[in-house]
Chains A and B, each alone.
Chain A
Amino acid sequence: EVQLVESGGGLVQPGGSLRLSCAASGFTFSSYWMSWVRQAPGKGLEWVANIKQDGSEKYYVDSVKGRFTISRDNAKNSLYLQMNSLRAEDTAVYYCARDFTVTTGFDYWGQGTLVTVSS
């Protein structure tokens, strides 16, 4: 059974940093692109970033470029999102998701972890 379990969310002040983790199991993690998708409270979904199987390619939504860094450790079956210079508008539930392929949809999602940016 495919499982994606996020952790690392919490309350952080504006300008602060947070690192999210996603533990994957039930599939060959190193064979898939992986993404982070977020959802602000009461709002829609927003794709944040994704990373190629070997970590050699990474893409970001414009609003997080230069502040967020996606990475992975295939030996640990883990995906990460380092978030720096956090803003109030980054407040959201962050989902880890498996890319079905690099161009198509996300076929498995975690349960999400809440990040709240507030003073």
Chain B
Amino acid sequence: QSALTQPASVSGSPGQSITISCTGTSSDVGGYNYVSWYQQHPGKAPKLMIYDVSNRPSGVSNRFSGSKSGNTASLTISGLQAEDEADYYCSSYTSSSTLKVFGGGTKLTVL
């Protein structure tokens, strides 16, 4: 069982917006602004999409945005495109000895 909880799947039509949630505790998501999000296409390495809750690395589309409220972080993708279909993972710094934890991943399907 993953330390952070994500929905197993979400779906949306091209042009729509979707949101993926990532729920943790006060020891990780809720306690620090160190949530990051990754996109992973089949057979490929993950790609950093959001870091420190809401910051986008250079080169990442502004259709991707992040936020946090309490112990839950969210990734929103607006203007869905076919190439957004992938697995998405959240990650957070944690005060436990593990240091960093991931969510179980969410499969995004673009209908």
Contact = CB atoms under 8 A, between A and B. Distances in A.
A110 B48 CA distance: 13
Contacts, number: 66
Interface of A: 35, 37, 44-47, 50, 59, 61-62, 95, 100, 103-107, 109-112
Contact of A44 (B47, B50, B89): B89
A103 B87 CA distance: 23
Nearest to B6: A44
Given A45-B89, A104-B34, A104-B36, A109 B51 contact: no
A107 B38 contact: no
A44 B97 contact: no
A109 B36 contact: no
Given A106-B36, A112-B45, A44 B51 contact: no
Nearest to A96: B45
Nearest to B58: A107
B45 A100 contact: no
Contact of B46 (A45, A61, A104): A45
Given A44-B2, A62-B97, A106 B102 contact: no
Contact of A105 (B51, B97, B101): B51
B69 interface: no
A45 B97 CA distance: 18
A59 B99 CA distance: 7
Given A104-B34, A104-B93, A44 B45 contact: no
Given A59-B97, A103-B93, A105-B51, A44 B32 contact: no
